[in-house]
A and B are shown apart, each in its own frame.
Chain A
Amino acid sequence: MFFRELYAYRYLMREIVVKNIKIQYRNSVLGMFWTFLQPLLTTLVLVSLFSTLFGNATASMINYPIYVLTGRLLYEFYSQSTKRAMRSITGSASVLKKVKVPKYIYPLANIVSNFITFLISLLVLVGFIVFFLFVGDKPPVINWHILLMPVPLLILFLLCTGVGLILSTLSVFFKDVEYLYDVFCLLLFYGTPIFYAPSKLGDSKIRQMALQANPLYSIVEMFRDCVLRGRLLNPNHLLYALGFSLLMLLIGGLVFWRKQEKFILYI
């Protein structure tokens, strides 16, 4: 049922995905280059600030720039795609009020288009890896484990889809969800070991619990296992992140499906 409908509307899905990518870069001089430039520049800022400021680039840590870049790339995809999905229903009000379309297409297409630009931006990571294989004294460990890279990325995709469905539903009924979520994302950025090592959080029980409960942390760590440390995915992270993401997808799907008939009365 669901897949047949999705198949019937594959053209709309494709049009929206292409549109999102096109529009994002339409009015900028550098166009698609921003996909590379943005993570590159923000990583440079983070690295230059924190490698000296708080002494993060210590001996215990493997290649710090790649460590920061991987965390930043994944966090950026998570926050951008869920924020876009959140606004997708209210932003498409004029269409949804007039034409009968499956509403989930809108949040889903926003996640997909962000995922595509995210995949393109991974080229920066490739550049970093190649660069540090030859330069510097802490090269990343690259071996066959890099082939497992799609696993954390797919889990992240599921997580974003689930969270995006929940947020898009909530934002229809409550306008202030957007502001709350912005604050939440800020908290997530600092709460996830993106530019610091997890050990920096100290022994505080609460902080350690918050860290372990953070699915983005599990996903980022798995990703680093593949492309930086060259070792097998941590099974605890794998189970937790996958379970959490599937749960979010289930909740998101249910909430969205149960409430979608009411959207039109509020948008």
Chain B
Amino acid sequence: METPAILVEDVGMMFRLSNEKVDNLKEYMIRILKRKMQFTEFWALRDVSFTVEKGERLGVLGFNGAGKSTLLKVIAGVMRPTVGRVEIQGVIAPLLELGAGFDMNYSGRENIFLYGATMGYSRKYIQERYDEILEFSELKDFVDQQVKNYSSGMRARLGFSIATAVDPEVLIVDEVLSVGDAKFRQKSEKKIQSMFDRGVTVLFVSHNTAQVRTLCNKAILLDKGRMIAQGGAEEVCAIYDAMTKK
């Protein structure tokens, strides 16, 4: 059997929430002297296990606070799980909150290379895709402007264009299909569809079961940090819809 593209095994993520926020030295010293540092343990994820084979498209469903974002961060490697393990085969492109890696004082052109480097790509590699990125983002006339003068839609377009130009093996999509105006949205949906056709593995997070049904073939449902359902996209969406109506 081929190794799965994403392997998540017994993953749990525990946060220690301090009852009062201590973020300065003075408070901290006082607390230590009084021996009064109280924490509440909070498991944002608990015993989550699943695998995603290469080319599969997994929808992640759940209400707010169910642990979806935490799960994505754990898979993207930004957070290390408290228990369990996560294994990824290949390059991950996180499409979460696009444009997070931009420097506002930098021009669009310079940000393309900075963003690419943040994802671990060389200048040469990005240079080869530079025209494609510019073409797709439709920002040719603004490329030498500082990004702080961009509208949020323009930033998102640029971020989307870079993140999808680099041929990732695993794509994490966090409701970014609603980037930009209607025209760009259509274009980006088409782009994502073409990546699907090339066999990219996808993790798609959404509240919109209609989107999950069309884009994904499998789905999991999270509730309060636990995985309460997994299976075909259709049946998991049905469970989620039933929960929403309650």
A residues with CB within 8 A of B = 8-9, 11-12, 14-16, 19, 22-23, 26, 94-101, 173-177, 180, 261, 264-266
Contacts and interface: CB of A to CB of B under 8 A. Distances in A.
Contact of B122 (A11, A26, A261): A11
B9 interface: no
Given A11-B123, A265-B15, A98 B23 contact: no
A172 to B, nearest CB: 10
Nearest to A26: B105
B120 A19 contact: no
Contacts of A15: 113-114, 117-118, 123
Interface string B95-133: 011001101011000100110111111110000000000
A9 B114 CA distance: 12
B100 A176 contact: no
B79 interface: yes
B220 to A, nearest CB: 22
Given A15-B113, A98-B76, A175 B24 contact: yes
A22 to B, nearest CB: 8
B23 A175 contact: yes
A12 B78 contact: no
Interface of A is mostly: helix
Contacts of A96: 78
Contacts of B100: 94-95, 97-99
Nearest to A99: B118
B4 to A, nearest CB: 19
Given A175-B24, A176-B24, A264 B79 contact: yes
Contacts of A264: 73, 78-79
Given A15-B113, A23-B103, A174-B24, A95 B118 contact: yes
Interface centre among A12, A94, A173, A261 (most CB of B within 10 A): A12
A98 B26 CA distance: 31
B80 interface: yes
Contacts of B80: 261
A173 B96 CA distance: 25
The 7 closest A-B pairs by CB, nearest first: A100-B77, A15-B117, A12-B117, A176-B24, A11-B117, A98-B100, A94-B100
21 contacts: A11-B116, A11-B117, A11-B121, A12-B118, A14-B117, A15-B118, A19-B103, A19-B110, A22-B106, A23-B105, A94-B100, A95-B100, A98-B78, A98-B97, A99-B94, A174-B24, A175-B24, A176-B25, A177-B25, A180-B25, A266-B23
Contacts of B101: 94-95, 98-99
Interface of B: 15, 23-26, 28, 73, 76-80, 92, 94, 96-97, 100-101, 103, 105-106, 110, 113-114, 116-123
Contacts of B76: 98-100
Contacts of A101: 118, 120
Contacts of B120: 8-9, 11-12, 101
A100 B110 contact: no
B28 to A, nearest CB: 7
Given A98-B100, A101-B120, 18 more contacts: A8-B120, A11-B116, A11-B117, A15-B114, A19-B114, A22-B110, A95-B118, A96-B78, A98-B96, A98-B101, A100-B76, A100-B77, A100-B92, A174-B28, A180-B25, A261-B79, A264-B78, A265-B15
Contacts of A26: 105
Name which of B92, B96, B97, B100 has the most chain A CB atoms within 10 A of its CB. Answer: B100
Contacts of B96: 98
Contacts of B122: 11
Contact of B25 (A12, A99, A174): A174
Contacts of A9: 117, 120
Contacts of B110: 19, 22
A70 B7 CA distance: 57
A168 B194 CA distance: 42
A97 B73 CA distance: 8
B106 A23 contact: yes
Nearest to A96: B78
Given A23-B105, A99-B100, A174 B117 contact: no
Nearest to B21: A266
A70 B62 CA distance: 62
Interface core residue of B28, B78, B118, B119 (most chain A CB under 10 Å): B118
Nearest to B174: A98
A29 B80 CA distance: 46
A19 B112 CA distance: 12
A99 B172 CA distance: 11
Nearest to B29: A174
